[in-house]
Structure 1
Amino acid sequence: MEKVVITNKNGESITLGNHTPYFLETLDGVGNIPVTIESQKSPKQDGSTYIDNMLESRVISIEGMIVTRDNPNEVLNYRRKMQRVLNPKLGEVTITYYHEDKIKEIKAIAETTPIFPSGQGSKGLFYQKYLLHLLCHQPFWLDTYYESREMSYLMGGLNFRLSLPTNFSNRGFKRKAANVGDVSTPVEIEFKGPATNPTVTNETTGEFIKVNRELGEDDILTVSTVFGEKYVRINGENAFHYIDLGSVFWQLVTGDNILSYQSNNDSIKTRVKVKWKSRYIGL
């Protein structure tokens, strides 16, 4: 069964599916994304030279019918609830898609308030057609959960209990992290001290994030590599100025990535956690 749940920032939601009151009839834009292709053409060149491409924002259109059984006043109540949930002034909503064992989510903003046509066949005592137009600035569907494992010190080395268990010696701590999505995906890293100049490297790309700072036992360092939402915080306070100048806010490439952790002060109390959500270009 296919269904869509739309939830706003206030936690209020509506479910569109094959049951009352919100029947789902068509769902467009969940698979395709417009692509802008960059190319270059030289004088007298046949054709052009491909340079790069970028995925544009995703547009999702939903059509359906509000249906009630006994009370015609309920049609108006359900219309009002849909308007509240999709109020653009509240900001982005979360669209969660369900189909059999597949669950994915995406953020979107309503391009218009819900449309309720009044033409023949669109409205009656116990039914009302609806149209929704939503814009997803980030076009990728995400898993609804984080892949997340804690890196912890055990006697004889560091053991990272991940989907692919790996044992780490006291130096050169390495492990695999699998990005099963279609594109690279950002990560969030959490250090719990003590540690000195903690560094996490994606050995697959050669990029690292290093924070030139000593962490005490009660300190928590968090780093996000999400585009437009990058941050470095110690105990919730901005710590961007401690970032090593050679650092890159790296992402996990598709497939297996080899990650390593280093610190100038290894401790059995140190904890490092890397988490991410895989990204997909379509359902």
Structure 2
Amino acid sequence: MRRLTYENSRGEIIQFYLSPLVIESLTGIGEVDAEVQSQRAPYQDGDTYIDTILQPRFIDLEGSITKTDLQEIKRYRKHILRVCNPKLGLGKITLELDGDIKEIRGSLDGAPVFPERGQNVWQKFMVSWKCPSPYWRDPQEVSRALHAYQPTFKYPVKYPAMYGFSGDSTILENDGDVDTPVTIDVQGPVTNPQIKNLTTGEFIKINRSLSADEILHIDTNTQNKRVEIYRNGSVLEKAWGYVDDDSTFLMLIPGNNEIEYLADSGGVNGIVAIGWHNRYAGI
């Protein structure tokens, strides 16, 4: 089975599958261009490999409107043009292929094309998308929760006293093909929360206290980096200024990642939720 569903930024949906909008050809779902980056020193034979960068993905769909009545053909043409409108920016492409479901964000690479019918009974059409990020991803976000601080201080005090221990760790598995960004939501009360990827050595730390009604939101996606503090569901302030200078916008590498959540102080309600989508180079 091969079914492609496109949802534009207005929430309008069109589905290409069987009658009346049949997929005849679908390219770009697996293959994607790559640029090999290298450098050469003076008098060096060959060059030195640096990295390989994937280019944006282009998906081309060719199909037919399987109707013969002129009014019905015009109605479906209008529907395609309305939903697949290049002026609406990024939309969501969902592809179901042989029981597997993946999605990707893309914008129309021009308006849909309707060739002259000539002797054809059906009206053919062509739709093309450009996907800035070439990676397909699972529709479902994976999420885990950790505690940062667990108090152990009790009366009467017996010295040496342990006031609490910080740090809750777990293994997060990235089942995709490539590194994937994460979203991090920290619920107060907590002071100076820090999330570490012990597998890679990366960490991000926020030098600020959060009250019980505040939530810190971090998005490490390079195309949508955010550090914000929310209160009552609204953005209270941008929090870029509180990011520790040595922090990095950590990602999960393919396979297991040992993640630790730390804080200087906090309470039992001070938890963090880490979410991510597995990403794939092709489908």
TM-score (structure 2 length as normaliser): 0.89
Q: Is the 8 A contact 2:144 2:275 kept in 1?
A: yes
- 1:97-145 residue CA offsets vs partner (Å, 9 max, x unmatched): 00233110011111110000005344x4xx2100112111110001111
**Secondary structure at the counterpart of residue 181 of structure 2:** coil
- Consecutive unaligned residues of structure 1, counting only runs of 5 or more, are 158-168
Of 69, 75, 78 in structure 1, the residue corresponding to residue 76 of structure 2 is 78
> Aligned partners of 1:47, 1:234: CA distance in 2, in Å?
50
Q: Is the 8 A contact 2:148 2:272 kept in 1?
A: no
CA separation of 1:225 and 1:108: change in aligned 2, threshold 3 A: same
TM-score (structure 1 length as normaliser): 0.89
Corresponding residue of 1:163: none
Corresponding residue of 2:5: 5
Which amino acid in the other structure matches residue 229 of structure 1? Answer: N
**Secondary structure at the counterpart of residue 61 of structure 2:** strand
The alignment covers a number of residue pairs equal to: 267
Two-structure CA RMSD over aligned residues (Å): 1.9
Q: Is the 8 A contact 2:20 2:67 kept in 1?
A: yes
Which amino acid in the other structure matches residue 52 of structure 2? Answer: N
Asked if 1:107 is matched to 2:105, the reply is yes
> Aligned partners of 1:204, 1:121: CA distance in 2, in Å?
62
> Aligned partners of 1:134, 1:79: CA distance in 2, in Å?
18
Corresponding residue of 1:96: 94
> Aligned partners of 2:260, 2:175: CA distance in 1, in Å?
19
Asked if 1:16 is matched to 2:12, the reply is no
Corresponding residue of 2:157: none
**Secondary structure at the counterpart of residue 217 of structure 2:** strand
- 1:11-61 residue CA offsets vs partner (Å, 9 max, x unmatched): 1111111x2110011110110110111122344433222121110011111
Asked if 1:215 is matched to 2:239, the reply is no
Corresponding residue of 2:137: 142
> Aligned partners of 2:147, 2:39: CA distance in 1, in Å?
50
Corresponding residue of 2:125: 130
CA separation of 1:137 and 1:155: change in aligned 2, threshold 3 A: closer
Q: How does 1:192-207 map to 2 (within 5 A)?
A: 192-207=187-202
Which amino acid in the other structure matches residue 3 of structure 1? Answer: R
**Secondary structure at the counterpart of residue 74 of structure 2:** helix
- 1:181-201 residue CA offsets vs partner (Å, 9 max, x unmatched): 111000000011100001001
> Aligned partners of 1:121, 1:50: CA distance in 2, in Å?
53
> Aligned partners of 1:229, 1:153: CA distance in 2, in Å?
26
Which amino acid in the other structure matches residue 37 of structure 1? Answer: V
Q: Where do 4+ consecutive residues of structure 1 move more than 6 Å?
A: 153-157
CA separation of 1:246 and 1:155: change in aligned 2, threshold 3 A: closer
Identical aligned residues as a percent: 37
> Aligned partners of 1:7, 1:150: CA distance in 2, in Å?
31
Q: How does 1:1-283 map to 2 (within 5 A)?
A: 1-17=1-17, 19-68=18-67, 71-122=69-120, 124=121, 127-152=122-147, 170-235=165-230, 236=235, 237-283=237-283
Deviation of the 1:257 alpha carbon: 0.3
Q: Is the 8 A contact 1:190 1:272 kept in 2?
A: yes
Q: Is the 8 A contact 1:172 1:261 kept in 2?
A: yes
CA separation of 1:190 and 1:208: change in aligned 2, threshold 3 A: same
Deviation of the 1:151 alpha carbon: 2.4
Q: Is the 8 A contact 1:153 1:269 kept in 2?
A: no
- 1:204-234 residue CA offsets vs partner (Å, 9 max, x unmatched): 1111111111111111111110103111111
**Secondary structure at the counterpart of residue 14 of structure 1:** strand
**Secondary structure at the counterpart of residue 166 of structure 2:** coil
